Amino acid sequence: MSTVIITVGNEILSGHIQDTNTRWMAQRLFYLGEELERVIIIGDDRAAIIDLIRECIDAVDYLFVCGGLGATPDDVTMAAVGDALGKTCIVSDEALAHMEYLSTFLLERGFIKQKMEVNDAIRKMATVIEGSTVLENKAGFCPGVTVTAQNTRIFVLPGVPQELTTIFTDQIENIYIQPSQNRFMDEIVLSEVEARIAHLIAKLNEDFPGVSVGSYPTYGAKTLVIRAMGEDEETVKRVLEEIQSYSDSLPEL
């Protein structure tokens, strides 16, 4: 199953905010057995978001669109995804009810001084794509949504890390994306330099197409991590054993 993540935000492109969501999602998708094909960072540009969504529809199994949800004028993601799908956006009664509940909860515990007023900004935060399923945001106000377009399942999620991770673990993982057992990863650490074994890694990647082998040097030290990933545990271990054996046969550095 193929996956693309689109992260939306001028603040990320300008370097004012670090994108931690992508790394976290990549790790979760890996352990769920999903293949992350691409990660795209784009600004709060409605037309550009529309073009990207249309490019991905029916080309990938899962599409995550993260960030750009909120009450301010530059929060255009939900409307852009709706436009890309040819769907209108509507104010969700379910999302409004959650916001009112959360506002009451915060008021009763002294975190805010007055209850939320349902104004245009709040209604914008509660706006979702018509026909989508609302993903409740238990860590904040803006909901996420999921909707299917042709053969692509699309998830639109808030960019606030705590909110994104909460929605993902509570309402996406094990519900829309079931964990796969067909993924195994192992690694070895060598006192080695990459140049001496690069040819062997290239050969093993050709000889064992079901295994992906990568090397990750620590510059300034003779430490090289070799990481192998594949569907068959025995084959992954065999590949690593061949690399370990070859490295051991070389003259000491």
Q: What is residue 181's three-state secondary structure?
A: coil
pTM: 0.82
pLDDT at 33: 85
CATH 3.30.70.1130 location in the chain: 184-249
pLDDT at 15: 94
Pair type for strands 62-66 and 152-157: parallel
Is the pLDDT at 181 greater than 70? The verdict is no
pLDDT band at 36 (very low <50, low <70, confident <90, very high): very high
pLDDT digits 0-9 by tens, 208-221: 988 989 998 876 66
pLDDT at 109: 84
Sheet holding 184-190, edge to edge: 184-190, 223-230, 211-218
> What is the CATH class of 184-249?
alpha beta
CATH 3.40.980.10 location in the chain: 2-172
| Average pLDDT across the chain, whole number | 92
Q: Does domain 2-172 have CATH number 3.40.980.10?
A: yes
Cα(213)–Cα(117) distance, integer angstroms: 55
- Output 81 or 214, whichever has higher pLDDT: 81
> Is there a contact between 71 and 121 (Cβ–Cβ < 8 Å)?
yes
- Residue 164 token pair: 């994104």
Cα(41)–Cα(49) distance, integer angstroms: 10
* Closest residue by Cα to residue 200 from 226, 230, 229: 226
Is the pLDDT at 163 greater than 70? The verdict is yes
pLDDT band at 250 (very low <50, low <70, confident <90, very high): very high
